[in-house]
Structure 1
Amino acid sequence: MYLYMNGELVRREEAFISPFDHGFLYGMGLFETFRTYNGHPFLLDDHLERLNNSLNELNIHVRYTREEIIHALQLLLKENKLGDAYFRLNVSAGIGEIGLQTEPYDHPNLIIFAKPLPPRNPLQEKRAVTLRLKRNTPEGFERLKSHHYLNNILAKREIGDSPNCEGIFLTKEEFLAEGVVSNLFWIKDHILFTPAMETGILNGITRQFVIKLANFIGMDIQEGFFTVDQALEADEMFVTNSIQEIVPISSFDGKEMPGVSGAKVKALQKLYEQQCTGLWSRKDV
């Protein structure tokens, strides 16, 4: 398996970074995960916009363009003999001295990983359970998709390895936040509910796209501070991320939900599938 590292293809067993890289020493790094559909990197412009904004926030002086990343993805697909793939685009700050650095990072490391995708399963659904572990607050003013992932790792340990279960974080005030690797939505009547950014969640790219789709089909959107009891009244529930897409929930804290049979979730999934082979940004919907 090949990785793309700083402009070159590198065999995975030959890929190394310095122990002085501040992505390793201090967690100064960011990543984006996305997938291709018939070779098209779905919503790549949105992922790069978030990445470049976050790089600026971390004082890492680099910006990545669509053309640069597409070139890397095409090389990875070809050399790894993949039709489509799961990609992780990772940027670490680069080498620095031991100690907290305030000046900009001018020589970051770019690594793009590719791995095969499992077959798409139209009947995929998950059960959701609230976690005992609370969602930590963002390290800065808003949550970045950064290397700081201990809260998520501990949550995953709490729920175990089952691929059919998603843990749902609550804030310390007991408001719903997000999943271990997903954003949370539920539907009541014609309203789509999702926790507000102010709960400390990551503003997922698929989250933003689904909100745009729901608006497109005339649903009302309510972002806010919601309790478990409010979500338990839902007609339908689902979680989202860029790899698993829109995943219906079959039960929430033991209460049965429609799962894959939910009519509104089905409608959103159909719209999603119609867009994923050609769309660069949710702004183009």
Structure 2
Amino acid sequence: MLCWFNGNFIDEKELFISPFDHGYLHGIGFYERFRTYNGQVLLLEERFNRLCNALNNFRIPMPYTIRDIQNVIKELWLAASREDSIFRVNVSAGETDDTLAPKYKNPNVIIYRIPLIERTRGLEKDAMWLKTTRNSPEHSVRYISHNFGNNILASFEVQNLETTEGLLLNSKGHIAEGITSNIFWSRDDILYTPSLTTGIIPGITRQWVIHTAKRLGYRVIEDIFFQHELLHAYECFVTNSIEELVPISNIGRTRFLGEEGPIYKRLHQAYIEEIIQLMKRG
């Protein structure tokens, strides 16, 4: 597999990082993971800015521009015979003195692709509450980082993530998010989603849904919620950058409208239209 490492295209077998990189030693590394549509990335600027915000807070420089990243993705897409894929842009802190006040000057930046197994749009999943608790973020906002252990522990509770999403509560018992997603539900034409104060990832697709729902005239409430409030919803869906908007059919014995949910259907169609416009621009 062809990868891009610190400015050069190399084969994956030639890609090595020092064990003294703080991404390995201390988990100081951040990434963005998304899919392409005809070689284009939806909401790339928002994803790049989220990555840079995380790096800035840990005083890690980003040596490349969004245009650089865009060009690399296009080259890897072309090298894969124009096959749309999942891409990961990974930035680890790099080697430095093992001190409590490190100065990160030479981060390691890797971009690579993973084959995309496309899921049928609108295909429902079921969901289940997990025993694993969503851990608290180390910063006021949770970053997508190398510290992914909490999600891995949660995934052990789910037999098949292709058909089931595991839902996490935080340490206070508030609804947080899915293992790989943000969560929404609706009742009486009002769309609900957990607040960022619950410790969830500020998903890019999540933010798109919030903005689009408001534009379409829906009231959106971001707040702190308990399980019983979701269980009284009419419809429920989850979002992420790979699977897009996924309707939830049930949580245990509680059933929802699934793919027939009216708010889900309207937002899902708007998301497809956004993708079509992106592909036209490409």
Task: Classify the TM-score, shorter chain.
Answer: over 0.9
CA distance in 2, matches of 1:23, 1:168: 28
The worse-fitting range, judged by mean Cα deviation, of 268-277 and 239-248 is: 268-277
Runs of 4+ in 1 over 3 A off after TM superposition: 277-280
Contact between 1:82 and 1:116, CA under 8 Å: does it hold in 2? Answer: no
- Normalised to the residue count of structure 1, the TM-score between the two structures is 0.94
Q: Secondary structure at the match of 1:40?
A: coil
CA distance in 2, matches of 1:204, 1:153: 18
Q: Report the count of equivalent residues.
A: 279
Q: Match of 1:254?
A: 253
Q: Match of 2:95?
A: 95
CA distance in 2, matches of 1:234, 1:173: 21
Q: Compute the displacement of 1:78 (Å).
A: 1.5
Within a 5 Å distance, the mapping from 1:202-217 to structure 2 comes to 202-217=201-216
CA distance in 2, matches of 1:279, 1:74: 14
List runs of 5+ in structure 1 lacking aligned partners.
281-285
Within a 5 Å distance, the mapping from 1:69-108 to structure 2 comes to 69-97=69-97, 99-108=98-107
The worse-fitting range, judged by mean Cα deviation, of 210-219 and 59-68 is: 59-68
Residues 1:43 and 2:43 are matched in the alignment: yes
Q: Compute the displacement of 1:100 (Å).
A: 3.5
Contact between 1:42 and 1:277, CA under 8 Å: does it hold in 2? Answer: no
Contact between 2:122 and 2:245, CA under 8 Å: does it hold in 1? Answer: no
CA distance in 2, matches of 1:171, 1:119: 31
Q: Compute the displacement of 1:80 (Å).
A: 2.2
Q: Match of 1:4?
A: 4
Cα pair distance change 1:184/1:100, threshold 3 Å:
farther
The amino acid of 1:60's aligned partner reads I
CA distance in 1, matches of 2:239, 2:184: 8
Contact between 2:38 and 2:82, CA under 8 Å: does it hold in 1? Answer: no
CA distance in 1, matches of 2:119, 2:157: 27
- Normalised to the residue count of structure 2, the TM-score between the two structures is 0.95
The worse-fitting range, judged by mean Cα deviation, of 217-226 and 108-117 is: 108-117
CA distance in 2, matches of 1:73, 1:163: 26
Q: Match of 2:136?
A: 137
The amino acid of 2:2's aligned partner reads Y
CA distance in 2, matches of 1:156, 1:211: 27
Contact between 2:168 and 2:176, CA under 8 Å: does it hold in 1? Answer: yes
CA distance in 2, matches of 1:49, 1:278: 22
Q: Secondary structure at the match of 1:270?
A: helix
Report the aligned-residue RMSD.
1.5
The amino acid of 2:24's aligned partner reads F
Within a 5 Å distance, the mapping from 1:117-156 to structure 2 comes to 117-156=116-155
List runs of 5+ in structure 2 lacking aligned partners.
none
